[in-house]
Structure 1
Amino acid sequence: MLDTLIQSKTRLKLLLRFFLNPDSSAYLRGLAQEFDESTNSVRVELNRFEEAGLIAGHKEGNKIVYKVNTKFPMFGELQKIAFKHFGIDQIIEQVVQKLGDVNAVYLTGDLARGLDTSIVDVTIIGKNIDSTYLTKLVAKAEDLIGRKIRTLVYQPSEVFEIEQPRLLIFGDEKY
């Protein structure tokens, strides 16, 4: 739906890239390669975002590295829009609230990098998670968002390492 509202595909990709994972940063050529776009089209949109205050650029060596401005007045709303675009809000609503004793939920993989993808990787940490029920909830969420969801489930007592980059979308960062 966002592609109907935002005509520039490059602008939409940048919006999603920066607002899905506000801890990520990127530079012009890297973004152009990632999006398979010309550096000029990416530069134009980066300049617009920077002028509006959505992102900030700083020099690192001979590159300008861009990062989202989390102090931007509409940061929270724009991040919610990015989450809704990928159906993350539906995943949380369908999976977390009805699943049981969930301590944390992380988004990992390409989506955590801010890349548009048809597969949503989710890591859940919790006690006594009913895997059969989780499978049913994931199927419902997949129908709602039109994307495939891959899940990993860990007990809080287990020793595990969550893939980087990761984005906490529910719960406590200590997991």
Structure 2
Amino acid sequence: MSLKANEYLCYSLIKSGFLMLDSLITSKTRLRLLVKFFVNDRNQSHLRGLADEFGESTNAIRKELNNLTQAGILLKHSEKNKIAYQANTHHPFFTNIRDIIRKYLGLDMLLEQILEKMGEVEQVLLVGDLSRGVDSGKIDVVVVGDDLNHDYIQGLTKRIEGLIDRKVIFTFRSKRNDHSGLVLFDKAVGI
């Protein structure tokens, strides 16, 4: 299958709702919690912080946190006077859930498109809201590498935004810096 045909198929499936996670997980609160904790397993938060961030009642958040904690998907621990929650990285389905969330957000397709023809990419980092687990409809990506194909990048932005239905903002660096963010690809480490 050609790249264009594959892109069209992916686009059609996404737009038809076939790959939309919200058709499988009907609780919007649960889906937002899974995004929050599984896009980046270092993310942690407490009940009131989540209620403020999501603009929902503490009772709705508490119910879903309890369900996910009882299932072993989330862990909770005391932090000062609050209970903090985070993804259980030792859960047998942790990797599967993380991969599904990243596919739902379009990160797998974005990374594939970046690595395909962009040039000598050394590292790809997810920064901004999404790296903190907030799905604002915008994906901030830092691409580190030499001799990046800027013509390809111009066309890539619009094409990838159409495929994943999110705004994509690229930042380019020629040298590795100590970036805070989630590493999606690192040539030196092999991920």
- Provide the TM-score with structure 1 as the length reference: 0.92
Q: Deviations over 1:88-131 (max 9, x none)?
A: 11101111222111111001111111111221100000111122
Contact kept? 1:102, 1:124, Cα under 8 Å:
yes
Query: Match of 1:62?
Result: 81
Aligned AA for 2:85? Y
Q: Please, which runs of 5 or more residues in structure 1 have no aligned partner?
A: none
Query: Match of 2:57?
Result: 38
Q: Please, which runs of 5 or more residues in structure 2 have no aligned partner?
A: 1-19
Query: Match of 1:53?
Result: 72
Query: Match of 1:142?
Result: 161
Query: Match of 1:117?
Result: 136
Query: Match of 2:184?
Result: 169
Aligned AA for 1:167? L
Query: Match of 2:149?
Result: 130
4+ residue stretches of structure 1 with deviation over 2 A? none
Match of 1:13 among 32, 37, 46: 32
Match of 2:89, SS state, is coil
Contact kept? 1:95, 1:138, Cα under 8 Å:
no
Q: Deviations over 1:142-164 (max 9, x none)?
A: 1111111100000026xx453x4
Tell me, in whole angstroms, the C-alpha distance in 2 between the residues paired with 1:73 and 1:62.
Answer: 30
Contact kept? 2:121, 2:187, Cα under 8 Å:
no
Match of 2:119 among 81, 100, 103: 100
Superposed CA RMSD: 1.5
Q: Percent identity?
A: 42
Match of 2:45 among 26, 31, 43: 26
